[in-house]
Structure 1
Amino acid sequence: MLQCRYQRTGEMADLEEAIEMARQAVKSTPYDHPDRASYLGNLGNDLWHRYKQTGEMADLEEASLYFYNTWHCQIAIPFSRVKAAARCLTLPVAQAKMDTAIQLGQDVIDLLLAVNTKLLDRSDQQFVMSIFAGVATNVCSFLLASNRPTNALEYLEKGRAVIIGQLVDARSDFSSLEQQYPDIARRYMYLRDEVNTPVNRLEQDIGQAQVIGRRREAVAELDACIREIRGIAGNERFLLGTIVVVNITGLRSDAILVSQAAIKALNLPRLLASDALKNREYLEYLTWLWDVCVKPILDEVRSTNDGANGLPRIWWIGAGLGSSMPFHAAGVHSPGSTENVFSRTISSYTPSIKALGYAQHRSRATGTHVRLASDPTMPTTPSQGLQSDARKPPDLPGVVEEKKRIANVMNTYMSIEPLDLPNQGEGQEAEQDRLTVHRISELSLPHAYIAYLSACSTAENNSTKLSDEVIHVVSGFQVAGFPHAVGCLWPSFDRVCADVASKFYQSLQGAIRWDGRAVAYAVREAVLAAREAEMEMPLAWAQFVHFGA
C-alpha cells in the first residue's frame, strides 16, 4: 500500500518505508514458505522504482537479484514466479548476461504453459497475459543474437498468442489427447490445477509442512507428466509450437522465414524500434516499411515462387512492435510502380503457426464448396444507451448498397440468408447485442468457411499490453471454426467497404476452387481495385486483410 501511495504522490518517504517493510517481510519468512516469493517480488519492485527515480545501479542490481530469487521459489504458484522473471528479463543487468537471460527466458516460457488460465474468465486471462507481455519477443531476440533461429521461433511461438492457443488446443490437440489417452490427460489437468492453487487454501485440513512437501512433489510430477505427453506418438509438440515472422524489440529486429525446406533468420538492422514509433504521413510510412523490412524479406524468398500468376504466398506474423504493422501493404504506391508487396506476393496473416495449422485443418475438414451465405447487415449502429444524439455513431448507408451488390454477384450460384439488424433476442423489441470476441470464440461452427467482416477495426487489437495475444474479432471467428476471415486493421470508409466487398465476391466467383489461395487472392484483387481508384489515400484501402489457411 505504501508503494501504491508513492505511485500516486511521488513521495520518496513512502517508497523508502515500503522498501524497509518489504525487507522485514522477506527476513521474517522461512525459505521454504510459498508466500516468500510474493514478498521477494514486492521488494524487487520497490527497489526497481527507486532505481528509476535515482539511477542508482546498486538498486537495479539488487532488484534483479530479488526477481531472480523469486523465480527460484519452486513451491510458489507459477503465476508469481513467472511474473517476477518476466520483470527480470526487462532489466538491463539481466539482458547484459546473454546466456543467463536466454536460459531464464526459456524456463519462463516453459513454465508459462503451466500457469492455469483456462479456469479464469477472459478478462482475467487477459490480465495474466498482460503481465508477461514482451517475454517471448525478448527471448526470441536473445536467441537470434546467439544464432539460434530454430529455438527462437519455437519459443516465440510458445510465448505468443497463448489465449488463442489454449482455445485452439481445447478443440484439437488436447481434445484428441483426452480421447486417446484419457488417464494421462486427467492426470495433467489435475496436477496443473494443484500447482496453481495458493497454499493458504490448502492449509485448513492438513499441516503447513505437509502442504509444502506435497507442492514440491506436484511440481515435479507435472514436469514429468508433460514430458510423458510429449513422448506419445503424435503429441511430440504438445504445449510446443513448430511462415514470415517479423520480431521487433528494443534489442534488435529480425525476420524468421519458415518453409518446408528450412527455418532461416534474416537480421533487419535498419528496422529500429525507435523509428517504428515515429509518426509519419502514411504513404511515407509504407515506403519506409518496404525499404527497411519487407523488401529484404521478399528478396530472400523470391526463389520460392509457388505458382499462380508467378506470385508466391506468404503468411505474416508480427511480434513485438511488429504485431500491428501492415506488411501486406508496404511499398511505393505510385502509378506503374512494382516496388510493393501487392506486385510480388499474395499475403495472408495468422495469429500464430499453431492457429494457421488449425485453420488449414478446418479448411480440409470443411471442404471448399460453400452452399449457403448469411448476409447480416447493420446500417445503423445501436447507441448502447447513449442519451445524446451527438454521441450516437453515424448511420452507414453504404451497408445497404453493399448488400445489394453482393446479392447481385452471389445469387446466381448460392442461396443467401439475409439477416438485417441481427441480435440474439426474441421478437422485434429485443435489444441488439454487442458482437464481442469472447462470445464469438465460444462458438463451435464445424461447417463454417469464410467470414467476411465489412466493419471497422475487426482485425485491430487496441490493447498495447496484449499486442502479442492477437485478440480481435477476426481471430475470434477463426477460433469459432472459420478457416478464412477477412477484416480491417483500422476504421474503414463506408463507401470503400462496399466497393471492396463486391469486388472480393466477384473475384471469388471466378475461382475454380475456394481454397486458401483463392480467398487470399480475391482479397488482394479487391484491394488493388480500391487502390487504383485512390492510390494517394492508403488509409482508405490498405486496412483490408485476410487471416487464415
Structure 2
Amino acid sequence: MVVGPPSERLDAAGWAVRTLTDYHEFSTPGRLLSAHSLVISILPEIVWLGHGIKRRFEESSTAGSLVTSAVHAAVGVGALSQAVEWLEAGRSFVWSQILSFRNRLDELEEQHPDLARRLRIVHAQLQSSIHPPSHPNSETIAAEQDLPFLSSHTEADRHRGLAIEYGRILADVRRQPGLEGYLLPKKLVALLPSSESLDGHVVFLNMHDCRCHALLLAPEGTLATVSLSELSLDKAKKLRSQWRLYLRQHGVRERGMTTQHRPQSNDTAVIRVLICIWEWIVDPILQALNLNERNPKSDCIPHVTWCPTGPLTQLPLHAAGKYDVDDGPHVYDFVVSSYTPSLSALARSVDAIAKQRPHPSVLVVTQSDTPGLSPLAGTALEGKRLQEVFSKSHISSSVLNGEQASTDTVRAYLDNHTWLHLACHGLQDPKDPLQSAFALHDGRLSLADLMTTTADHAELAFLSACQTAVGDEKIPEESMHLAAGMLAVGYKGVIATMWSIRDDDAPLVVEAYYKKLLTLRASSRLGKAETGAAYALHEATKQLRDKVGEKEFVRWAPFVHFGI
C-alpha cells in the first residue's frame, strides 16, 4: 500500500537510488533499476494535474535530471527498452495530460458506457478549467450543466476537485478486466506505431552528468546505443549559450527582419559550435547507423528523426557540420532530418496517416499588417505565390488575408481543409503554452482554441512565423512550443522555425517546399507512413542555402520539420 505524500516518497526513492549508486556492495542491477522505476512512477503525482500550470512546470523542471539518471542507469546495464520507456514516461508531462483529454473513448463506450460518459464530462470540465477557450463548445457547456456544484467554488478549488474526480474515474476504469493499464505508461511495443513501421531511425539523446548516450530505434523496433564520449552536460550547456549569443548578436527577434547581415566576430565561434555538434554528436551516430556516405540524389537520402533532451533541444542538430573546410561533411549531405517531442507523438501521427491520407485541401492565412504589430510585407507575396502553385497543381485552396482572417472565420474554415499555412506573427506564452497563439486581424487564435476545432483529418501545417519551434530552456523536456502544440492538436507534420526568419526568405522557402511536396505526392513514391514534408523542406532549405551561402546559418537553418 502507498503511504505518505508524493514528495516524501520521492525523497525516499531518491535516497535509495543514491545509496545503491554510491555503495556498490549493496547494489545489483536489478535493485538499482527497481529504485529508479519507483522514482519514475512517482513523478506523475509530483507533476499532478490538480496543481496550477505554473507549479506543474516548476515540478517538471526538477524531474528532468531524475529521468536522465534513470535512463543512464538502464543503458549502463543494457536495458535499452526500459531506457526508452523511461524517456517517454518522464518527458512532456503537461502535454501528456493535455493529450489524455483527446483520447478516443470508443472502446470504453462499448464496454462501459457509464464510465465513458463520466470520463467525457470531466474531460470537458478539466480542459475548460485549465485552458478556457475563447469560444466554449457544446460539450463544455453540457459538462457545466452536469456538474453544477463546481460553479460555486474558487477556480483553484474547482480545478483540484475536478482532478481528484478524474483520478477516481481512472481508478474505476482500471479496475475493469482488460483495462488495468488504461492511460498508464506503455511498454516499448505499445509505444511503436501499430499500423506501419517508422520511416527511418529515431535517435534519442540522453544528457547525464557522467556520460551522454544516443539510443537508436530502428524502423522495425530494434534498439542500439552509442556512447557520446566527447559530450557532457556541461559542454552541451556551453554550446547552447554560444548559439544563443550568436542569435542575439544577429538580431533575430521576429519575422520581418530584413537588415543586411554583416559578419561579426562570433561567426568563427558559431562555426565551432556546429563543428562540435558534428564531431561530438551527429557523426558518431551516423557512423553507427552506416549513414555516412554522401548521396547526390536527395530523394534517396535516408530519414532520421531526432528526439533530443536537455540543452540539445535548442541546438540545430540538422545544421551540424564542418564549415571550416571546403567540401566538409554536413548532416544534410547524409540524412534528411526531422524532430519529434516524443515517440508517442510520432506513433500517433504514423497510425493516423496510415489509416487515411486525405486529398490535400489548403487553408492559407496571411497577415501583412496585423494591428499593433510590425508589418510583414512578405506575407502578401507568399500568399500570391502559393495561390499560383496550388492553382497549377489543381489543389483546392482558400486564402484569407488581412481583415478576412478573423479568428471566427479561420476557425470556421479549418475543418474543411487538411493543410494549414499560417504566414503571420506567432506569439509564444511560456507560462501557459496553450495560450500561445497566432496573431490574426482581430486577435489571437490560440492552441486552446485549436484544440476544440481541429478535425482528425488535419494533416500538415506550415507555421511561417517567428520562433514557432522554440521551447523554454528551463523546461526543455516539455517541448513547450507551437510546433509541438500543433502535433497535439492533430496535425501529423509541422514545419516551424527555431528562431526568427527574414521576411524576404520566407516566400522562396515556402514556394520551393510546396512544389517539391506536390511533386512527391504525385509520384506515388511515398510510403503509407510518410507525408513527404521532411523531404520537401530538405529541398527548400537547400535552395535557400545555395542562394545565400552555407555559412548564412541564421537564414537557412531556422526551418525545421516535426512529426512525419
TM-score normalised according to structure 2 size: 0.67
Q: Deviations over 1:484-513 (max 9, x none)?
A: 110001122211222111110111121125
Mapped to 2, the partners of 1:139 and 1:167 lie a distance apart of 25
Aligned to 2:476: 467
Aligned to 2:133: none
Flag the 1:155–1:238 CA change in 2: closer, same or farther, 3 A.
closer
Question: Mapping of 1:495-510 within 5 angstroms?
Answer: 495-510=504-519
AA at the equivalent of 1:543? P
Between 106-115 and 176-185, report the one with greater CA deviation. Answer: 176-185
Number of equivalenced pairs: 436
AA at the equivalent of 1:478? L
Counterpart secondary structure, 1:302? coil
Deviation at 1:397, TM superposition (A): 1.4
Identical aligned residues as a percent: 22
AA at the equivalent of 1:361? D
Mapped to 2, the partners of 1:226 and 1:334 lie a distance apart of 61
Deviation at 1:87, TM superposition (A): 7.2
* In the alignment, structure 1 residue 350 sits paired with structure 2 residue 340: yes
Question: Mapping of 1:392-403 within 5 angstroms?
Answer: 393-403=373-383
Flag the 1:93–1:170 CA change in 2: closer, same or farther, 3 A.
same
Mapped to 2, the partners of 1:366 and 1:236 lie a distance apart of 27
Flag the 1:376–1:224 CA change in 2: closer, same or farther, 3 A.
closer
Deviation at 1:434, TM superposition (A): 2.6
Flag the 1:233–1:175 CA change in 2: closer, same or farther, 3 A.
closer
Aligned to 2:156: none
Flag the 1:132–1:440 CA change in 2: closer, same or farther, 3 A.
farther
Counterpart secondary structure, 2:225? strand
* In the alignment, structure 1 residue 447 sits paired with structure 2 residue 457: yes
Aligned to 1:322: 312
AA at the equivalent of 1:292? W
Counterpart secondary structure, 2:442? coil
Deviation at 1:315, TM superposition (A): 1.0
Question: Root-mean-square deviation (CA), in Å?
Answer: 4.0
Query: Which residue of the other structure, out of 386, 395, 403, is the alignment partner of 1:414?
Result: 395
Flag the 1:234–1:537 CA change in 2: closer, same or farther, 3 A.
closer
Question: Mapping of 1:296-315 within 5 angstroms?
Answer: 296-302=284-290, 309-315=299-305
Aligned to 2:407: 424
Mapped to 2, the partners of 1:415 and 1:224 lie a distance apart of 44
Q: Give the conservation status (yes or no) of the 8 Å contact 1:378–1:420.
A: yes
Mapped to 2, the partners of 1:188 and 1:137 lie a distance apart of 36
Deviation at 1:106, TM superposition (A): 1.5
Deviation at 1:124, TM superposition (A): 5.2
Max radius of gyration: which structure? 1
Counterpart secondary structure, 2:443? coil
Flag the 1:400–1:353 CA change in 2: closer, same or farther, 3 A.
same
Q: Deviations over 1:48-96 (max 9, x none)?
A: xxxxxxxxxxxxxxxxxxxxxxxxx933344x3466469769x977853
Aligned to 2:542: 528
Q: Give the conservation status (yes or no) of the 8 Å contact 2:85–2:187.
A: no
Deviation at 1:163, TM superposition (A): 2.4
Query: Which residue of the other structure, out of 96, 106, 110, is the alignment partner of 2:22?
Result: 96
Aligned to 1:135: 66
Q: Deviations over 1:435-454 (max 9, x none)?
A: 43444345432221110000
Aligned to 2:365: 376
Between 349-358 and 511-520, report the one with greater CA deviation. Answer: 511-520
TM-score normalised according to structure 1 size: 0.69
Flag the 1:344–1:369 CA change in 2: closer, same or farther, 3 A.
same
Counterpart secondary structure, 1:451? strand
Mapped to 2, the partners of 1:112 and 1:358 lie a distance apart of 23
Which segments of 5 or more consecutive residues in structure 1 lack a partner in the other structure? 1-72, 194-214, 384-392
Between 301-310 and 243-252, report the one with greater CA deviation. Answer: 301-310
Q: Give the conservation status (yes or no) of the 8 Å contact 1:504–1:526.
A: yes
Mapped to 1, the partners of 2:477 and 2:184 lie a distance apart of 25
Aligned to 2:94: 163
Pick 1 or 2: higher relative contact order, CA cutoff 8 A, min separation 6.
2
Which segments of 5 or more consecutive residues in structure 2 lack a partner in the other structure? 124-163, 193-201, 244-268, 411-439
Mapped to 2, the partners of 1:155 and 1:180 lie a distance apart of 32
Mapped to 2, the partners of 1:236 and 1:248 lie a distance apart of 21
Q: Give the conservation status (yes or no) of the 8 Å contact 2:40–2:89.
A: yes
Mapped to 1, the partners of 2:234 and 2:173 lie a distance apart of 43
Deviation at 1:224, TM superposition (A): 11
Counterpart secondary structure, 2:352? helix
* In the alignment, structure 1 residue 404 sits paired with structure 2 residue 384: yes
Query: Which residue of the other structure, out of 63, 71, 78, is the alignment partner of 1:147?
Result: 78
Deviation at 1:460, TM superposition (A): 0.9
Aligned to 2:36: 105
Counterpart secondary structure, 2:2? coil
Deviation at 1:223, TM superposition (A): 12
Aligned to 1:47: none
AA at the equivalent of 2:497? C
